Amino acid sequence: MSSQIKFFEQVREFSEEAAKYLDAPKDVLKQILQNNTIIHIRFPIKKDDGTIQVIEAWRSQHSHHRLPCKGGIRFSHLADEDEVEALAALMSYKCAVVDVPFGGAKGAVKIDPKDFTENELERICRRLTYELFQRGFIGAEIDVPAPDVNTSGREMAWIADTYRTLSHDINSLACVTGKPRDHGGIAGRVEATGLGVAYGIQEILNTNSICKQYKIEPGVKAKTIAIQGFGNVGYHSAKFLSEMGAKVVAIGEYEGIITNPEGIDIDALAEHRKQSGSIKHFSGAEFSEDREAILYFEADILIPAALESQITSENYDKVKAKIIAEAANGPLTADATKKLFKKGYLIIPDIYLNAGGVTVSYFEWVKNISHIRFGRIDKRFEKSNFNNLVSLFTESTGAKVSHDLINKFSKDGDESALVASGLEETMITSFHQIKTILEEHDFKIDLKTAAYISALRKIVSSYKYAGIFP
């Protein structure tokens, strides 16, 4: 990212553009566009060799229109206050777009996790939890972190365990989401963001009015895809889109880009990287060290799933893919978005497309505070109802239904199936709310502005019913 581009300024520019279309008091909109609170923390930890290192961290709460606040914690040596504030704001808008009743938050620890042992990372997580607890910045009803860049269920388990010890709260497991399943997590959380990306792209490309407006052939099947980033989001986006019939022909990572016009075997690549630590030397594709080439690769869909501000006013005219699906947070700057929209590109916005993670985090949070797993109460009841319906049909018509077919359609409502179903419904419903706004404006605004309008309308409504303005 260019040092001249401030991430939070970019988010503010998108939200200010959308705010022009809202009938709401300017002072209220001004308040919504600002971050409510940010804390900057420094604390020492003892390394395995006995030396002391001071760790720097931030936690920002962008909006308290809904509680708790919600947002991930990332470990990155590039983290700074501007990035944390921008990501917190995006979380507020993201939650609103998909009707998840949280305010936005975000956290970061300024470290490169590769420089620390597992024991040292555990000490960092536990001390960070203590610091947040002391300041009232964590709790099921206050602020709920989740995994982000370079963090996972492991770190969330450490945080949850430390919080439980400090708080003695019966809802302590709900203080974070993205936990391992055997520690209060939920099936489907790991793949949720990538699956949401796939569902979102599929629904948009199945919508005739969008395809007609942007002169796109409908459907995901046979579309060629280039993906920047092969982390959790990039991998799962590639996996699920491939299963839907798309063809992933190029993948870029920090070490370079691999390409195969016949399509890359995603699971084989994932296994290769697991074994070797790199996408280099993968036998199923050609490798080039030109990592920026992924942004300009000739494909139907480009999915930036890495860092912010990758496509700017300086390089937007090199992008060949006519559909850009923002799986990362803020991969296009405001200027680039405007210029590409004028050229007829379809840009699927981050605050909609990568909201799968927070959607399933919401399901996990509800599971934790209700103290019962999804499907436990009703799955046998639903299966029994289905079998009764089949029996009634066969008895009244004389038709025969094979046992294999019955088994296929009467699977137990296990948690992973329920989560995937809820996520798909969320992505479909949220998109059609955005599409309605596009239609209100005769498609003269881009999809990103429409998504921000959708988010801001809902946040303004929350302020109104809270009695903040008449």
Q: Which residues are catalytic?
A: 106
> Could you tell me what percentage of the chain is helix, strand and coil, using 3-state DSSP and rounding each to the nearest 5?
50, 15, 35
Q: How many CA atoms are closer than 13 Å to the CA of 63, on its beta-carbon side?
A: 31
Spatial separation of the C-alpha atoms in residues 335 and 12, rounded to whole Å: 13
Element (H, E) at 257: strand 256-259
Spatial separation of the C-alpha atoms in residues 470 and 463, rounded to whole Å: 10
Residue type, 198: A
Are the beta carbons of 367 and 375 closer than 8 angstroms?
Answer: no
Spatial separation of the C-alpha atoms in residues 271 and 251, rounded to whole Å: 15
For residue 386, which phi and psi values (nearest 5 degrees)? -65, -45
For residue 273, which phi and psi values (nearest 5 degrees)? -70, -35
Closest by CA to 434, choosing from 360, 351, 354, is: 351
Are the beta carbons of 60 and 88 closer than 8 angstroms?
Answer: yes
Structure tokens at 15: 């939200």
Spatial separation of the C-alpha atoms in residues 15 and 456, rounded to whole Å: 8
Structure tokens at 105: 């938050």
Angle between helix axes 232-243 and 192-205 (nearest 10 degrees) is: 40
Among left, alpha and beta (phi > 0; psi -120 to 50; other), residue 21 is alpha
β partners of residue 34: none
Determine the length of the chain: 470
